[in-house]
Amino acid sequence: MKRTFWKEAVVYQIYPRSFQDSNGDGIGDLQGIISRLDYLQKLGVDVVWLSPVYKSPNDDNGYDISDYEDIMDEFGTLKDWEQLLTGLHDRGIKLMMDLVINHSSDEHQWFVESRSSKDNPYRDYYIWRPGGPNGERPNNWSSIFSGPAWELDETTGEYYLHLFSRKQPDLNWDNPKLREELYKMITFWLDKGVDGLRMDVINLISKAEGLPSFQIEGEAPEELAWGGDYFMNGPRVHEFLHEMNQKVLSGYDIMTVGETPGASVEDAVLYTDEDREELQMVFQFEHMDVDSGPGGKWDVAPWTLTKLRDILHKWQIGQADKGWNSLYLNNHDQPRMVSRFGDDGKYRIISAKMLATLLHTLKGTPYIYQGEEIGMTNVKFTTLEDYKDIEILNMYRENVTEGGADHETILNAIHVKGRDNARTPMQWDASANAGFSEGEPWLKVNPIYKEINVEQALADSDSIFYYYQELIALRKKNPIMVYGEYKLLLPDHENLYAYTRTLDDEQWLILLNFNEAPQTVDLSAELSTVTDLIIGNYPDESPTREILRPYEARVYRLQS
Ligand code: NOJ
């Protein structure tokens, strides 16, 4: 396997709105990030992925861009951004920008032109369709943020497609002029020295020809339906990605990761096989659905390790020879991983370290989401007014206000799955607003901040922070963590995830207990060849190798 910097890197995601405010307006900004660069360097990460900082009316916190070549007012200026880039580079850290090109904001100049008349030169930059004979919508697709995916625009009497909010019209990738325009914009950033791109919902850019309705048996054809089959991994997506690669990306030594909801392992291999020249890795979502019932994301169901491991294992095997995995358990769209897959009570620290061990010892590139390295937890706001996320608010309105669902049930689903869990401000210290801002934060701070914060973590040599630091440092010294072959052990165990990594004549054994009860490790052959403990999440070594304590993680070196 070819050795590359992006396989070896550890990425740290910053959600700028919630990271650090420098001017007291309650909103994180670029100068705030700049003031925390030493912290990132101390952690040891190689790349920072910055969620969008472009000009935006913030209907979806920057994922609705009104000017791709300028910075959002609340965050600062292009000069601040350049200072950030230099500050990162001075510390040996690369910068990965978020690229949101499935849609723009409806306030982008292209859309302002596009909606102004049917024969405007920008009309075909977006996806417009006339209504049916009685003014019906062009098809029955629902938007990912609730309601229909079509909005009637009074000016020309036609509908435009928006897979997300109505302020996020989808761009028409079938139009070569639009594609050229996007490539020019990407070149603008790459020429400034950007080192990587995270591409937002990039597998949604090609829609099925004719935009067919999704017919559910027994339902009226106009009933709203999930049309994913007609826009996820669509007919021309590989052609478009290869074109973008050839026309722009291949000219730079950069890292690319595509966000690809609904991509199977087979799809992912097509996206990331190096010979195909599209992307380097994707964010897959299969493991993010382990706690969803038949009703989808908000239909909260219990997850099991068996299910989670089966999925992760499938992806490890599926991309063993071709393609490359990204490794993540949370980001700005997902609840906090320690609350979801660990224990955010008694075993918070131990279980957060166990999950970190998983993320850094599977094969792939680990992504750390801000606050994960101090074990930040989900938040439980009790009034809806405290939530700011458009996905949450639309979903609540559709289900409770309009649909009559039970408030408590939906609030509970928000507590478990809502995106604002990950977006509460970074907890820096025990002072007012957790040291995030001197003003009132745009989203309330998690009330637990006096206990869980960076200052506390840095002062405790046994903290989650230092465990991450150790894992990252280990990875730099041990190519086996990056390139070693993965092999699953104990495939039927309900609470243990066990595997080996092997590179040349070196072999490591990874043991992870996902349960609060101690577990017996039935691996006598492997355990009899242990030479030493490389890293573990308990301060002392267990008196017996055969027992893993609650949420214990151990990485052993085996005799070759
Ligand atoms: C995925 C992003 O991660 C999410 O935050 C956003 O709402 C949607 N794409 C739409 O851009």
Nearest CA to ligand 1 atom 8: 63
Residue 218 pLDDT level (bands cut at 50, 70, 90): confident
pLDDT per residue as tens digits for the range 515-533: 999 999 999 999 999 999 9
Q: Is the CB of 98 under 6 A from ligand 1?
A: no
Domain ranges (residues) in the chain? 7-101+262-467, 109-161, 485-558
Q: Is the CB of 200 under 6 A from ligand 1?
A: yes
Closest ligand 1 atom to residue 60 Cα is 7
DSSP 477-528: H-HHHHHPEEEEE-TT-SSEEEEEEEETTEEEEEEEE-SSS-EE---HHHHT
* 43/466 Cα distance (integer angstroms): 8
Q: Within a 10 A sphere around the Cβ of 346, how many other Cβ atoms?
A: 11
Q: Please say if the pLDDT value at position 10 is more than 80.
A: yes
Q: How far is the CA of 61 from the centre of ligand 1 (A)?
A: 9
Assigned CATH topology for domain 109-161: Oligo-1,6-glucosidase; domain 2 (3.90.400)
Closest ligand 1 atom to residue 333 Cα is 5
Closest ligand 1 atom to residue 102 Cα is 11
In the CATH scheme, what is the homologous superfamily, with its name and number, of domain 7-101+262-467? Answer: Glycosidases (3.20.20.80)
* 35/22 Cα distance (integer angstroms): 8
Q: Is the CB of 59 under 6 A from ligand 1?
A: no
For residue 217, what pLDDT is reported?
83
Residue 58 pLDDT level (bands cut at 50, 70, 90): very high
Q: Which residues are marked as active site?
A: 200, 259
Q: How far is the CA of 63 from the centre of ligand 1 (A)?
A: 6
Q: How far is the CA of 57 from the centre of ligand 1 (A)?
A: 15
Mutate to test the pocket of ligand 1, among 49, 96, 100, 288 (most ligand atoms within 8 A of CB): 100
Q: Please say if the pLDDT value at position 222 is more than 90.
A: no
Q: Is the CB of 75 under 6 A from ligand 1?
A: no
Q: Please say if the pLDDT value at position 220 is more than 90.
A: no
Nearest CA to ligand 1 atom 6: 63
Contact (CB, 8 A) for 280 and 257: yes
Q: Is the CB of 60 under 6 A from ligand 1?
A: yes
Residue 139 pLDDT level (bands cut at 50, 70, 90): very high
* 387/394 Cα distance (integer angstroms): 11
Q: How far is the CA of 496 from the centre of ligand 1 (A)?
A: 33
Q: Is the CB of 271 under 6 A from ligand 1?
A: no
The percentage of residues in the chain with a pLDDT greater than 90, rounded to a whole number, is 97
Residue 541 pLDDT level (bands cut at 50, 70, 90): confident
Q: How far is the CA of 522 from the centre of ligand 1 (A)?
A: 43
* 319/273 Cα distance (integer angstroms): 9
* Mean predicted confidence (pLDDT) in 371-376: 99
* Mean predicted confidence (pLDDT) in 442-470: 98
* 471/361 Cα distance (integer angstroms): 9
Q: Please say if the pLDDT value at position 215 is more than 90.
A: no
For residue 181, what pLDDT is reported?
98
Q: What is the pTM of this model?
A: 0.98
Q: Is the CB of 205 under 6 A from ligand 1?
A: no
Closest ligand 1 atom to residue 259 Cα is 1
Closest ligand 1 atom to residue 63 Cα is 11
Q: Please say if the pLDDT value at position 560 is more than 90.
A: no
Q: Please say if the pLDDT value at position 385 is more than 80.
A: yes
pLDDT per residue as tens digits for the range 60-89: 999 999 999 999 999 999 999 999 999 999
* Mean predicted confidence (pLDDT) in 14-25: 98
Mutate to test the pocket of ligand 1, among 13, 60, 165, 421 (most ligand atoms within 8 A of CB): 60
For residue 537, what pLDDT is reported?
98
CATH 3.40.1410.10 fits 485-558, yes or no: no
Indicate the pairing of strand 326-327 with strand 296-300: unpaired
* 506/224 Cα distance (integer angstroms): 55
Closest ligand 1 atom to residue 390 Cα is 7
Q: Please say if the pLDDT value at position 219 is more than 90.
A: no
* 511/519 Cα distance (integer angstroms): 11
For residue 221, what pLDDT is reported?
76
Q: How far is the CA of 333 from the centre of ligand 1 (A)?
A: 7
